[in-house]
Amino acid sequence: MEGKRGNLFIFSGPSGVGKGTLRKKLFELVPDLCYSVSVTTRKPRKEELEGHDYFFIDEETFRDYIKANKFAEWAKVHGDYKGTLVSTIDKALAEDHDMVLEIDVQGAMQIRERYPEGIFIFIVPPSWDELENRLRGRKTEKEDDLKKRLEDARTEMEQAKYYDYMVVNNQLEKAVEELKAIIVSERCRIKKQDKTIMRLFNCSN
């Protein structure tokens, strides 16, 4: 990404909509993207790795991080605390890397306050039935937690209007193409290429 300023892409959407799968496919297609690994008090799932999926910490440590202002945003999501470290974002932006944050709507609103230039993308399911099918199909939650996630989905969807883009995850390939198009367009914005302009024309902005 030589000559370009880093972008923050914020992905939100209800649990089970397929954000993780979309992101993985997207990373295969689009070069120079990095992922913001969140901190959480949630217990790791079987296949999850420390530092790759999340940084897993206990609640006391999470509270210490809040007090020490280590979070760019944090929220209680479906009963667990989750947050993005300021250091994670600062490092990406200092190195002009494009970074994807996969966070809930409460966290996204905090990021908008702090980084108004972020690009906010909301991912929706094709229908409520399909969302429930997907959540049940992945078999990662017990019935109570699953119900909570479905309830939370209704509140989360009301926040979609505050985002810049919306992508319907009906067919995976199509949704990934749309995400790619958003990222490529955002990278082409003049204001994101001031370093390239300076280099080419040897002038300051």
Q: Which stretch binds ligand 5GP (CB under 6 A): 22-30, 102-110, 179-187, 189-197?
A: 102-110
Rounded to whole angstroms, the Cα distance separating 98 from 34 reads: 6
* Binding of residue 92 to ligand 5GP (CB under 6 A): no
DSSP letter (8 states) at residue 46: T
Q: Is residue 75 a contact residue for ligand 5GP (CB under 6 A)?
A: yes
Pick the closer one to ligand 5GP by CB: 103 or 119: 103
Residue among 4 and 82 whose Cβ is closer to ligand 5GP: 82
How many other C-beta atoms lie within 10 A of the C-beta of residue 56?
16
The residues, any chain, with a CB within 8 Å of residue 2's CB and separated by 6 or more, are: none
Which listed residue (7, 15, 41, 169) binds ligand 5GP by CB under 6 A? 15
Q: Measured between alpha carbons, how far is 157 from 12 in angstroms, rounded to an integer? A: 10
User: Which residues from 178-197 bind ligand 5GP, rule CB under 6 A?
Assistant: none
Among 23, 25, 82, 192, interactor with ligand 5GP by CB under 6 A: 82
Q: Strand 119-124 and strand 98-102: pairing?
A: unpaired
Which of 91, 93, 106, 168 is in the footprint of ligand 5GP by CB under 6 A? Answer: 106
Count of residues touching ligand 5GP (by CB under 6 A): 16
User: Is 42 or 187 the residue whose CB approaches ligand 5GP more closely?
Assistant: 42
Residues 9 and 6: their CA atoms lie apart, in Å, by: 10
- Beta carbon nearer to ligand 5GP, 61 or 185: 61
Running DSSP on this structure, what letter comes out for residue 37? Answer: P
Q: What is the dihedral of CA 125, 129, 132, 138, to 10 degrees?
A: -80
118 binds ligand 5GP, rule: CB under 6 A: no
Handedness of CA 160, 161, 162, 167 (dihedral sign): positive
For ligand 5GP, the binding residues (CB under 6 A) are 12, 15, 38, 42, 73, 75, 77-78, 82-84, 102-104, 106-107
